[in-house]
Structure 1
Amino acid sequence: MKYTNQFLLVVGLFTFSLLTSLTGYSQKQPAKQTIFAIKNVNVITMTSSNTILENATVVISNNLIQSINGAIPKNATIINGKGKWLIPGLIDAHVHLPTDGYLGQKFPTQIPDLSFNTQDIMTPIIANGVTTVLDLNSTMETFGQKKLIEKGYIVGPRIALAALINGGNGQGRIANTAEEGRIMVRNVKTEGYDFIKVYSKLNIETYNAIVDEAYKQGVKTIGHIPYAFKGKLEQAFIPHFGMVAHAEEFSKNSDSFCVQDAIKFAKLSKDNGTWLSPTLTTMVWIAKQTHSINSIKNLTSLKYVHPLLQSKWLTANNYVKNASSENATYFDNMVKFHFQLVKAFNDAGIPIVAGTDAGVSGVVAGFSLHDELELLVQAGLTPKEALNSATLLSAQWLGIDKQLGSIETGKFADLILLDQDPLTDIRNTRKIAGVFVNGNWLDKTKLNSMLEDLANRNTADKDQFDWKTFMNKKK
């Protein structure tokens, strides 16, 4: 179906109106035009030269970096950066933002009293300094979430949108011929999506057509390596296939999980110019759950997840249900192989972009990106390389590096103020003193207050959102 611009406008306005009502915000939050000056701060610029400026002054005005080591306007609000470190806001290049529509598509009945509060979804993300995300299965409701943030109703990250195209009888938009694939690409571009995600059940002919048509339409592709390429992986690496979205897409094409396979896969990607977002944390969490549900029960960030999803992770967890000693060993070995894979790709000079697949059980948006950075370092990246994977490198792949990804005059002031240097220990990215996001300055006290309020409400609402009850209602 090819949508008209008028139809898209109506749907977009309806979605925006619906999501506005769900957030509990009836009026736009006033835009803050305050001028800030962060004084005496150590700036990790993350530019191509990665200059580090000691005891610098950064002036922010109207959501832009106005100057670095320039004059401080008289009306500026001063932030003391002494002994602290300023880095660009982080980018998670693989998330799945919850929407009511997703559950409605999966379970096509009206669910009473169910809604995902948009601010609640975004709070853990921004509290962790993640100021941009790429949603890899976007819907019209995701457009609505994005618009709420852009209009100032919600404090949240910038959102890039990818439309998922699948084959067979799988989930997402379905295309089973080359012509259907090309039409689908043109449709999603018209609808305003930024990227296309290719998925597992596409046949070879349709996959090739989608990647080719996306290039012709000026849209990048990211995603899975379809099952159809099993045993002939090299055929998937066609011109303009932009990024593989999981290390798992390679490991499922290895029978031995050996270093030689990792090196072979790296060469395929290198020769084709295909980047990698390994989502190490996803497989680490899956492996944990094949051993014990306690990994979820003891998850400190679980309280920031919507209570319906908490209940699902704890009571309807397929990784736990299908657990066996064989499965546990298999996933443990896969995790080890993914570390070898990342090292091989990094040694080959293939750009590695930080993404987490947030939304998978155990992978809590915002918190998960810090997990990913630590895992990338464990896999052999330096802290600088890991930080680059979630800042300038991600911005370059997303095509927004002129606006984001490094600290330079004229760029958006998406910034994180840290208490300690992340280049000496990547774990210091968690030690957040404050975040600038979409023109809002949120210090540690404010961020902690937002998280505490969210956790308290999630705890209070637990009895209303039992997964088994939810499943019974849909029948």
Structure 2
Amino acid sequence: MCTASFSRLLLRLAFLALTTGCGRLPAPGTVSSRGGATTHPVVAITHVNVIPLTAGGHVLPNVTVLIRNDRIAALNGPLPAGTKRIDGRGKWLMPGLIDMHVHVPTDTHFGPPSPTHAATLFLHTQDIMTPYVANGVTTIVDLNSRAEHFGQRNEIARGDVIGPRLALAALINGGEGPGRIATTAADGRQAVRSAKAEGYELIKVYSQLNSETFQAIVDEADKQGLRTIGHIPNAFRGKLAHAFVPHFGMVAHAEEFSKQATAFSDQEAQQFAQLARANGTWLSPTLTTSHQILRQTRSLDELRASSELQYVHPLFQSKWLTANNYNRNTSPERIAYWEKLVSFHVRLVQAFRAAGVPLVVGTDTGTSGVIAGFAVHDELEFLAAAGLTAEEVLAAATRLPAAWLGLGQEIGTIEVGKRADLVLLTANPLDDVRNTRAIAGVFVNGRWLKRPTLDAMLAKLSKRYTAMKGHYDWQQTSGR
């Protein structure tokens, strides 16, 4: 074969590699399934109590769950020869948890980068993902994504990193602040089209958008097959009803409604809930975030003493403990304000539940004190304390977010054919949602990680971060 023909063949093969298989960007409006290079053995969890979390489903006692090729192959079917068995007697199996609101850190520049400069700070993707999988979180949604996040997702897809499946949202804002900036309707529509072309699955709308641009973004996102989640822009203060345009899919904080409140009354909460219900807009309350802000406004002592802080990169530990914006104003008036918000957020959750608005679990992980993976269990407990039943709380972290993401046929329940994203527990979470912390093991896309393995991963992470402490002095950092 001549050199020119061989070169053309290589180019053709390279093109095929980029446009097929794991090299292709996920289809817009969906989250790509992880393939990974590792072939997992056929595994069966025997004699386990299955909590399928299907709508109207009941606990299935004494079930053998067969997992083949990363999927649930059978419930109580015959086991092939050579099947690896996991004893599930006295245990409960539920779908993997989903966190609908995280901010995943990536390699970072401090100051303007030049064309040939590497990042100022390098982060290990496995270190970032370990707390999620150790807590049974098998899907996360990043709500301010950048190109670096595609690299992280590729590391997981290749099998180089054990991590959750990762959905990516492009943030569009107005004026100054994070994200892509759009100040006109035309700019907003183009930002959506660009985000789709770049491979993002979701659009996050943010606080500084003007009303015309916001409405254009939501409309264009729907035309492009992208779901919209995010803030209620400040432009809608005093005219909240105008924000509820068709296809505004989800509000990312209960705080977005409390910003609109004047009396912080049950009546206001009910009015907000009716607006969301009429528009088909869901809510991710992020109660854990407002609780953390209140605690840090009072004092940093609880955060400083947290046993979970060892799993946070020491740079962020230092930021949270030495340059914490929430702790800069500890006046009684400020504390009283956040106490009022925390109380009102509970009433919002109750009003939205009563109105039939779907609620899903999101944590705003990355905010000071909100720690990856662990915060999901905090959010479950806050939702239960607000009055949701244990089954409603579990559905808010599994079936419902999977449905909203368009992944209901893949994850979110335990059914034959679904992906094997599963959490094995030593206690029944339907008796007490705090039992979601009693993890005996996790299946991450069919890969079994037993408790000793998870503990070893966490211990390695803690050791690495402890060794790194002292290298970071972040006294001058500001922000959340």
TM-score (norm 1): 0.91
Contact 1:166-1:172 at 8 Å conserved across structures: yes
In 1, distance between residues paired with 2:350 and 2:37?
Answer: 47
Q: Which residue in 1 is equivalent to 2:75?
A: 68
2:112 aligns with one of 108, 112, 124: 108
Q: Which residue in 2 is equivalent to 1:282?
A: 289
1:407 aligns with one of 406, 414, 420: 414
Contact 1:60-1:67 at 8 Å conserved across structures: yes
Instruction: Provide the secondary structure at the position in 2 that maps to 1:413.
Output: coil
Give the CA deviation at 1:238. 0.8
Q: Which residue in 2 is equivalent to 1:375?
A: 382
Unaligned runs of 5+ in 1: 1-5, 17-27
2:39 aligns with one of 32, 38, 42: 32
Contact 1:301-1:364 at 8 Å conserved across structures: yes
Give the CA deviation at 1:32. 3.4
* Displaced runs of 4 or more, over 3 A: 109-113, 468-471
In 1, distance between residues paired with 2:237 and 2:118?
Answer: 39
Q: Which residue in 1 is equivalent to 2:184?
A: 177
Give the CA deviation at 1:33. 2.5
In 2, distance between residues paired with 1:233 and 1:108?
Answer: 38
In 2, distance between residues paired with 1:123 and 1:246?
Answer: 25
The aligned amino acid for 1:98 is P
The aligned length equals 447
1:338 aligns with one of 340, 345, 364: 345
Give the CA deviation at 1:245. 0.3
Q: Which residue in 2 is equivalent to 1:157?
A: 164
Q: Which residue in 2 is equivalent to 1:463?
A: 470
In 2, distance between residues paired with 1:348 and 1:204?
Answer: 26
Contact 1:416-1:435 at 8 Å conserved across structures: yes
In 1, distance between residues paired with 2:39 and 2:163?
Answer: 15
Contact 1:111-1:470 at 8 Å conserved across structures: no
In 2, distance between residues paired with 1:113 and 1:264?
Answer: 48
Instruction: Provide the secondary structure at the position in 1 that maps to 2:86.
Output: strand
Q: Which residue in 2 is equivalent to 1:321?
A: 328
In 1, distance between residues paired with 2:62 and 2:154?
Answer: 37
Distance 1:87 1:465, change over 3 A: same
In 2, distance between residues paired with 1:296 and 1:173?
Answer: 33
Instruction: Provide the secondary structure at the position in 1 that maps to 2:448.
Output: strand
In 1, distance between residues paired with 2:131 and 2:71?
Answer: 23
Q: Which residue in 2 is equivalent to 1:293?
A: 300
Contact 2:72-2:415 at 8 Å conserved across structures: yes
Contact 1:247-1:277 at 8 Å conserved across structures: yes
Q: How does 1:124-163 map to 2 (within 5 A)?
A: 124-163=131-170
Contact 2:215-2:245 at 8 Å conserved across structures: yes
Contact 1:165-1:173 at 8 Å conserved across structures: yes
**The 10-residue stretch of structure 1 (47-56 or 200-209) with the greater mean CA deviation from structure 2:** 47-56
Give the CA deviation at 1:170. 2.0
TM-score (norm 2): 0.90
Give the CA deviation at 1:111. 8.2
Contact 1:155-1:438 at 8 Å conserved across structures: no
In 1, distance between residues paired with 2:39 and 2:309?
Answer: 32
Residues 249-284 of structure 1 deviation map (CA, whole Å, 9 limit, x = unaligned):
000111221111100100110111100000000000
Distance 1:30 1:224, change over 3 A: closer
Instruction: Provide the secondary structure at the position in 2 that maps to 1:468.
Output: coil
Residues 403-443 of structure 1 deviation map (CA, whole Å, 9 limit, x = unaligned):
00000111100000000000000000000000000231100
Residues 174-227 of structure 1 deviation map (CA, whole Å, 9 limit, x = unaligned):
000000000111110111100000000000010010011111111110000000
Q: Which residue in 1 is equivalent to 2:9?
A: none
Contact 1:225-1:236 at 8 Å conserved across structures: yes
Give the CA deviation at 1:30. 5.8
Q: Which residue in 1 is equivalent to 2:432?
A: 425
Give the CA deviation at 1:49. 2.4
2:267 aligns with one of 256, 260, 270: 260
Q: Which residue in 2 is equivalent to 1:22?
A: none
Residues 332-378 of structure 1 deviation map (CA, whole Å, 9 limit, x = unaligned):
11000000000000011110010000000110010000000000001
Give the CA deviation at 1:300. 1.5
In 2, distance between residues paired with 1:362 and 1:29?
Answer: 32
Give the CA deviation at 1:115. 1.1
Two-structure CA RMSD over aligned residues (Å)? 2.0
Unaligned runs of 5+ in 2: 1-14, 26-34
Give the CA deviation at 1:119. 0.2
1:354 aligns with one of 344, 350, 361: 361
In 2, distance between residues paired with 1:112 and 1:222?
Answer: 30
The aligned amino acid for 2:471 is Q
Contact 2:319-2:477 at 8 Å conserved across structures: no
Alignment identity in percent? 56
Contact 2:254-2:286 at 8 Å conserved across structures: yes
- Does the alignment pair 1:206 with 2:210? no
The aligned amino acid for 1:141 is E
Instruction: Provide the secondary structure at the position in 2 that maps to 1:60.
Output: strand
Contact 1:299-1:362 at 8 Å conserved across structures: no
